[in-house]
Amino acid sequence: MRPSAGFTDEARENLAALEQGVLALEAPDGTGEGEHAELVAALFRAAHNLKGMAAMEELDELATVAHRMETVLDHHRHGGGRPDAATVDVLLAACDLVGALIDAADADAAAPSSEAILARLDATIAAQSGSPDRSAPGPSAPGPSAPSSAGGSDDPWPDGAAGGIRVVLDAAARLPKARAMVVIRRVGTVAEVLATIPDPDGLATGDRRDLTVVVAGCDDPDGLAAAVAGLPDVAEATWVTPPTPAPAPDGPAAPPALPATDHVVAPTTTIRVDVDRLDELSDAVGELVVNRNRLAQEVARTGDLELATALRRVNRTLADLQLSVMRVRLVSLESTVERARRLTRDVARDLGKEVHLEVEGAETEVDRSIVDEVVTPLVHLLRNAIDHGLEDPDTRRAAGKPPAGRLGLRAYHQGSQVVVEVSDDGAGIDVDRVAAKAERLGLLRPGDRPTRDEVVQLMFTPGFSTREEVSAVSGRGVGLDVVRSQVSALGGDIDVVTRAGEGTTFRLRLPLSLAVIEALLVQVADQTWAVPLDAAVETARLGHLVGGVGAAPRAARHRGALVAAIDGRRTLAGAPPTDGTEHHVAVLFDDLGTRFALVVDDLLGSREIVVKPPPARLAGLDHLAGVTVLPDGSVGGIADLPVLARRWRAENPRSAGIVGAGDREPPAGAAGLAAALPAGLRRAADALGSLVGAPVDLSSSRWESAGAGAVLLAVPLHGDLAGEVGLAVSGHAVVLRVQGVDERWHADAVVEWANVLASQFAVGVSDALSGDVRAGLPEVVAEGSGRPGDDGRSAFAATLRAGPAVVRIHARLDAPATPR
């Protein structure tokens, strides 16, 4: 038999409170005795509530387990001290069983066996009291702490009564007694319940639908009444005070008058709404947006002013409606965080590691659909962090770290996105090991010299993870490609910041809502595609594209820099490649530190679109993040930009000769910024190679002292550019130095090149900067400028603007005074 409507949600709420509280019992930071007592009391109430609810639904197995948990907790509630780790284990195992029993009841499926857990609970109870508690409540037997009834309605109020909540249930309430018990439990969470008038059993048999729950005291009667009024089937809830007995000196006490009503509270303040109904509402608003867009097109075509005015009003109302619907769908990440706490504890214990989970921003709200979908990738990342990121206690001690690893889970809003970070203070990703494995898997060729960032990105490659790796390391984990594809499917992205010996941070950027987004519509061959506006950095008109003859373009020059070019005609529309000699428009976006240009035929403008899932998982169309119905009724695809970027990387693997600087750490003592400099230098060197038409080999680069506490990354140049390019670092001051004997370092070209090198250098540094510098900043924009100096040298400045913070890098390009 399925439980009544609302039971499952309420039972899960109690279970969540129970699980969260049990985990808090062994929190490392500890609690005071008073707090501990409150915590145990709250846990007891949650178990008691579960028991009562289960009993009312005739879920005997669940009621029995909850009762045993209640008994275990009662021992600690009455001077039993703090529960030890074994007791916490048993309680958590019991929570798991309760969850499974609730699921089974909800699905009307066979309940899992509770025998083993009950035996463990009994053993715990026996250890506590010397004899096991074999009592179990029947459906009609309230738990030990159920309030005694004050009898019939004419019974006097008990001594010490401060007042009570008088409840009138809906006449149509199916299970009035069950509802009454829910009311009693809810009141009991904030006040000591002394009695009920009448006994709840009376509600089950008679026509009566009112009940007064008498309490010893209550700090917030109105709040309590409001809370009760929101319970299912409660038509009215009011705070009442005890009747004043009339003086009757010569006879028996007069029968009590009906409780006096002080306040009438609105019957409901919150309601539960089926998610499907919310989805229907969301769909309806989406259709409204489509129709509004069609209307707007018609208004634009006809120029009807009256219609235009009406349309503006519709727009305002629709905007309010959209916002309201979106807000209704927002839920906090609390439930996800609770799962993370439990997972952290269990995995850490399995692996024999000590882990402190630090949570920040659990209250952050996102669309419910996002919450549902983000759990799996987060669980994978947390497990990976504990499993692979954090060292065991001995290793940590040897490295001068505290034995307990720190695991961070942080969530915050950033613009129209929500960012979720999973960080650890472990060893960081062993880039050499990843590269070696990538070579074994054929992802790198012998002699390939990818940068540190590029090696890290290889971990997201499908097929990178293997069983062999699992057995060699720990036997658990998940492929990051799966994590990334799940995040991409949500319209989000993931990046990684890792530092040797300091730890790793995975940063997930997710949309707040999946229903309606702002998108840029583009024409690609005979198709219309939508690009999420959040992801687009800018649009630009590009000059010649760089690529092989007859092949699709692979790069484009933009603002003096080379960006990766994705041919929309070929990759989105399956049409013949774009002619690279034409001028084209492009949507620029960033992916994992690289700027991409999605080359399209035309920009059709931005508009709100309703995101719908693709009609099916279509072969070869994994770049289809979703679909939308366009104003003309046709269907447009929504481009999955991370997928396009990933494909570009796969089709354009880096060739040899660019590794070295990026993989080497600067000498100890270099400023924090120095750690990010190799990435900047690499980008600058790449740009330099493009400018001069010859690769710049960083493989022989070396770090050396440059005096006055500065260090120099010196890179030899070969061929026509014989000489050396160097990057001197001293604190935040950087000098890009070129020592060579080539006339190309002179004249105007130097300025242009300096601009290019400056901007590329800045972008590289920006991308590699630690989260401390970039955290919470909306975007980082790099600007570069250069000018020839009087002494024949050129100076340039690169500025990284990141919201309120600005990092300035001043550099000087030293050119040889005498040409060859």
Partner 1 sequence: MSGAGAAGTDDGPDPVVVVRVGPLRIGLPVAATRAVVRPEGITPLRDPSGRSTPGALVGMVAVHGRVAAVVDPRPALGLAPLTAGEDLSGDAAGGDRQQLLVVADPLGRFALLVDEVDGVTPDVDASVRRVEVADLVAGVVAAPEPADPEQGVGP
3-state secondary structure of 710: strand
CB nearer partner 1, residue 314 or residue 482: 482
Helix (H, G, I), strand (E, B) or coil at 698: coil
Residue among 490 and 712 whose Cβ is closer to partner 1? 490
Nearer to partner 1, 99 or 614 (CB): 614
Length of the chain: 820
Tell me the torsion sign for CA atoms 220, 226, 231, 233: positive
CB atoms within 10 A of CB 297: 12
Smallest distance from partner 1 to CB 433, Å: 6
Under the criterion CB under 8 A, does residue 638 sit at the interface with partner 1?
no
504 contacts: CB under 8 Å, gap ≥ 6: 385, 389, 423, 424, 426, 428, 429, 496, 497, 498
Residue 716: strand, helix, or coil: strand
Residue 635 in the binding site for partner 1 (CB under 8 A): yes
CB count within 10 Å of CB 649 equals 20
Minimum distance of partner 1 from residue 614's CB (angstroms): 8
Decide if residue 430 touches partner 1 (CB under 8 A). yes
Told to check if 297 binds partner 1 by CB under 8 A, we report: no
Q: Report the residue number, 434 or 674, with the smaller CB distance to partner 1.
A: 434
The reply to whether 618 sits near partner 1 by the rule CB under 8 A is yes
Asked if 434 interacts with partner 1 (CB under 8 A), we say yes
State the DSSP string of 325-368.
HHHHHEEESHHHHHHHHHHHHHHHHHHT--EEEEEE-TT-EEEH
Q: Which of 4, 149, 474, 539 binds partner 1 (CB under 8 A)?
A: 474
Give the nearer residue to partner 1 in terms of CB position, either 45 or 383.
383
Does 575 bind partner 1 (CB under 8 A)? Our answer is: yes
Q: What are phi and psi of 315, to 5 degrees?
A: -60, -45
Q: Is 603 in the site for partner 1 (CB under 8 A)?
A: no
Among 64, 451, 488, 527, binds partner 1 (CB under 8 A): 527
276 in contact with partner 1 (CB under 8 A): no
- Strands of the sheet containing 733-740, edge to edge, are 702-707, 710-717, 723-730, 733-740
- Measure the CA–CA gap between 6 and 232, rounded to whole angstroms: 8
Among 172, 617, 790, 818, binds partner 1 (CB under 8 A): 617
Which residues fall within 8 angstroms of residue 459, CB to CB, at 6 or more apart?
429, 434, 480, 496
Number of residues that bind partner 1 (CB under 8 A): 58
Among 80, 151, 614, 723, binds partner 1 (CB under 8 A): 614
Helix or strand holding residue 755 (H, E): helix 747-768
The whole-angstrom separation of Cα 711 and Cα 674 is: 9
Taking the least distance from each CB to partner 1, the nearer of 569 and 683 is 569
Question: Is 354 or 430 the residue whose CB approaches partner 1 more closely?
Answer: 430
* Residue 288 in contact with partner 1, rule: CB under 8 A: no
The interface region with partner 1, picked from 52-60, 264-272, 416-424, 522-530 by CB under 8 A, is 522-530
**Which of 576, 653 has the CB closer to partner 1?**
576
Among 1, 305, 472, 668, binds partner 1 (CB under 8 A): 472
Q: For residue 431, state whether it binds partner 1 (rule: CB under 8 A).
A: yes
600 binds partner 1 (CB under 8 A): no
Binding partner 1 (rule: CB under 8 A), the pick from 29, 33, 115, 526 is: 526
Task: Check residue 620 for interaction with partner 1 (CB under 8 A).
Answer: yes
Provide the minimum distance between the beta carbon of 571 and partner 1 in the complex, in angstroms, as a whole number: 6
CA distances to 49, 345, 491, 492, 511 from 613, in Å: 40, 36, 11, 15, 15
| Residue 635: CB minimum distance to partner 1, A | 4
Pick between residue 127 and residue 290 the one whose CB is nearest to partner 1: 290
Nearer to partner 1, 530 or 813 (CB): 530
Q: Is 669 in the site for partner 1 (CB under 8 A)?
A: no
Q: Does 317 bind partner 1 (CB under 8 A)?
A: no
**d(C-alpha 304, C-alpha 312), whole Å:** 12
CA dist 82 to 27, 117, 124, Å?
Answer: 12, 21, 13
Sole binder of partner 1 in the list 570, 584, 683, 737 (CB under 8 A): 570
Minimum CB separation of residue 118 from partner 1 in Å reads 31
Contact (Cβ atoms closer than 8 angstroms) between residue 564 and residue 597: yes
**Which C-beta is closer to partner 1: that of 137 or that of 405?**
405
Burial of residue 766 (CB within 10 Å: 0-12, 13-18, 19+) is: buried
Whole-number Cα distances in Å, 155 to 149, 192, 252, 257 = 9, 19, 14, 10
**Rule CB under 8 A: is residue 619 a binding residue for partner 1?**
yes
Applying CB under 8 A, which of residues 475, 576, 771, 776 lies at the interface with partner 1?
Answer: 475
Residue 771 engages partner 1 in binding (rule: CB under 8 A):
no
**Minimum CB distance to partner 1, residue 637 (Å):** 7
The secondary structure of residue 153, as a DSSP letter, is T
How far does CA 258 lie from the centroid of its chain? 53
Q: How far is the CB of 624 from partner 1 (least distance, A)?
A: 8
* Residue 429 contacts partner 1 per CB under 8 A: yes
Distance CA 187, CA 164 (A): 9
482 binding partner 1? (CB under 8 A): yes
**Element containing residue 455 per DSSP (H, E):** helix 452-458
Tell me which residues in 321-360 interact with partner 1 (CB under 8 A). Answer: none
C-alpha–C-alpha distance, residues 88 and 68, integer Å:
14
Single out the segment in contact with partner 1 by CB under 8 A; choices: 16-24, 569-577, 661-669, 774-782: 569-577
Q: Does 476 bind partner 1 (CB under 8 A)?
A: yes
Beta carbon of residue 347, minimum distance to partner 1 (angstroms, whole number): 13
Distance of CA 132 to the CA centre of its chain: 44
| Residue 792 contacts residue 715 (beta carbons within 8 Å) | no
Site string for partner 1, 225-264 (x = CB under 8 A): ----------------------------------------
Sheet holding 355-360, edge to edge: 355-360, 405-414, 417-424, 503-511, 493-499
CA-CA distance, 379 to 372, in Å (whole number)?
12
Quick note: the x/- pattern for partner 1 over 439-468, rule CB under 8 A, is --------------------x----xxxx-
Q: Provide the binding-site residues for partner 1, judged by CB under 8 A.
A: 283, 287, 290, 380, 384, 387-388, 427-431, 433-434, 459, 464-467, 469-480, 482, 526-528, 570-575, 612, 614-622, 627, 629, 633-637
